[in-house]
Amino acid sequence: MRTSPDPASKIPGRLLPQRYRSIDGLEIWVGRSDEGNDYLTTSLACGSDLFVHVEGSPGSHVVLRTEGHKNPPPESLLDACALAVHFSKQKGRQRASVHVAAIKGVRKPASAKPGLVSVQHGQTIRFRQDPQRLERILATRIKEERTTATVDKS
């Protein structure tokens, strides 16, 4: 099981995701750039993690770390949706369609431009942004510690 990305490794900081903590204590990772989105989705996320992205709109790839649970707590999923909308071109909108899929159904097509992925299966959540939820989740950003975090690839 993978844990937090190692900021002290030789991975450029621009590729490492921003990290937040859901109301249920699960980590939510947010890509910082197109290249960071690729790295997050194809290298860091794994297993039963969930890919969360606003449908039909450019924006950050968001990964809800499910810690092996097939059905993460609904409030954590809504927290991930709030971040997906906030870090997209839909930022500021009250409503958005957010696609959620298992990370194993997300693929990077050959020769696709950075940040572009293909998603199989999943579901669409008709999400309504709650300013209090967004404020709470943004306040949970996990500050990077340059010496303690590690990536376990088992």
* Domain residue limits, the chain: 15-138
Q: Mean pLDDT over residues 4-9, rounded?
A: 55
Q: How far apart are CA 145 and CA 130, in angstroms?
A: 30
Note the pLDDT of residue 150.
Answer: 47
Q: Which of 106, 63, 66 is nearest to 81 (CA)?
A: 63
Averaged pLDDT, 15-40: 93
Q: What is the pLDDT of residues 82-138, one digit of tens each?
A: 999 999 999 989 999 999 999 988 787 788 887 777 788 888 999 999 999 999 999
pLDDT band at 51 (very low <50, low <70, confident <90, very high): very high
Residue 2: per-residue pLDDT? 53
Q: Which two tokens stand for residue 9?
A: 């490794």
The whole model's pTM is what? 0.84
pLDDT of amino acid 5: 57
Mean of the per-residue pLDDT values for the chain?
85
DSSP letters of 55-90?
Answer: TTS-B--EEE--TT-SS--HHHHHHHHHHHHHTBTT
Q: Please work out, in degrees rounded to the nearest 5, the angle formed at the alpha carbon of residue 103 by the alpha carbons of 2 and 67.
A: 40
Closest C-alpha among 112, 60, 115 to residue 90: 60
> How many other CB atoms are there within 10 angstroms of residue 23's CB atom?
14
Q: Please give the Cα distance from 58 to 54 (Å, whole number).
A: 8
Give the confidence band of 76 by pLDDT, cuts at 50, 70, 90.
Answer: very high
Phi-psi region of 152 (alpha: psi -120 to 50; beta: other; left: phi over 0): beta
